[in-house]
Amino acid sequence: MSISPLVLNNVSKTFSGKVAVRDVSFSVEPGEIVGFLGPNGAGKTTTLRMALGLIKPDEGSVSLFGDAPGAQAFGRIGFLPEERGLYKKQTARDSIALMARLNGIKGREAMKRADEMLDRYGLSEAKKKKNKDMSKGMAQKVQLLGAIVHDPEFYILDEPFSGLDPVNQKVLEDMVREIAARDRTIIFSTHVMEHAERLCDRIILMSGGEKVFDGSTEAALAKAPRRLVVGSEDHAGLLAAVRPFAEDLVKRDDKTLSLILKSDAETQTVLETLVGKHIKLTRYEPKPATLHEAFVAMVGEDVAKNIENFNMEGGAS
């Protein structure tokens, strides 16, 4: 049986009397892409730092590849920290080669790999450009290439999408998929729900320093309310027919109705009822659930709104 790259057992951490992480347990299995989500201050970065052994938990235990974090994991992990940082006077090529050497790759091979990475990801023109002269997005991509240049088994990426424009976010998504296609394991924290929804096999949600959900993306989406938009010129008949199925109902400006369905209501049953009552529909549109809606259902509107606000502001936690 393959050893789990990461296992946390009941880890807790307090700073100056304030609990940052409380009794968190989870494992990351080989080949998984795990989205580690939650609002600012949820404890994500602290948890990832404990996972790497950068800080020690006050309680609980951590194992990397079956052992306590330490030298045995050298070269097997690629880590992109939340804080971005490159030597300003170093070139992109030298920065990536340095990270390769720090992870056990010899000098000439390290330079070769740096060149290959820059060429593969469309940064050939940056090879001799100093980091201080690069755009924020380009510098972030260089730092990410430094984290993956040694082709590790396990990737820990803390807010990798933060600060990137939509084009570079798409590039990074493609990179994550490419890494996963090589049977590598990835956990990344993010505020951007769409990335997690598109990329992840599994979601771990943190709130207030505690784990509040751990399961498949599909299971997370199932926590969201089911929405349905319906329309008809027979407004009164439509309203009367759908009301028994609705937990909540809103009349929209375009004269359609937006429903949140009751837990025991099925969209097919709603449709059959409307057809049976001879109501001619101008619109019948079940709305797919989103992770944001699921998180609102699990942690409450105020906490979920905190995620959304930091999404827009590009903040990290």
Q: Average pLDDT for consecutive 10-residue bins of the chain (317 residues)?
A: 89 95 96 90 92 95 93 88 82 93 91 93 85 82 90 93 83 88 92 85 92 93 92 92 93 89 91 94 92 84 54 41
The reported pLDDT for the residue numbered 316 is: 39
The reported pLDDT for the residue numbered 311 is: 45
Q: What is the DSSP letter of 133?
A: G
Asked whether the CA dihedral 124, 152, 161, 20 is positive or negative, the reply is negative
pTM for this prediction: 0.84
Q: How far apart are CA 92 and CA 123, in angstroms?
A: 9
The reported pLDDT for the residue numbered 139 is: 84
3-state SS, residue 7: strand
Of 98, 164, 93, 89, which is closest to residue 132 (Cα–Cα)? 89
The reported pLDDT for the residue numbered 27 is: 96
For 191-259, the DSSP string reads: S-HHHHHHH-SEEEEEETTEEEEEEEHHHHHTTSPPEEEEEES-HHHHHHHHGGGEEEEEE-TTS-EEE
The reported pLDDT for the residue numbered 301 is: 66
The reported pLDDT for the residue numbered 304 is: 56
Q: Which two tokens stand for residue 137?
A: 């997005």
The reported pLDDT for the residue numbered 122 is: 84
The reported pLDDT for the residue numbered 169 is: 86
The reported pLDDT for the residue numbered 163 is: 76
Q: How far apart are CA 260 and CA 280, in angstroms?
A: 21
Tens digit of pLDDT for each residue in 281-315? Answer: 999 999 998 888 888 888 876 655 555 444 433 44
The reported pLDDT for the residue numbered 238 is: 93
3-state SS, residue 152: coil
Percent of the chain surpassing pLDDT 70: 94
The reported pLDDT for the residue numbered 285 is: 94
- Give the residues across from 59 on adjacent strands: 12
The reported pLDDT for the residue numbered 166 is: 85
Tens digit of pLDDT for each residue in 68-106? Answer: 998 888 889 999 987 777 888 899 999 999 999 999 899
Q: How far apart are CA 315 and CA 39, in angstroms?
A: 10
For 24-39, the DSSP string reads: EEEEE-TT-EEEEE--
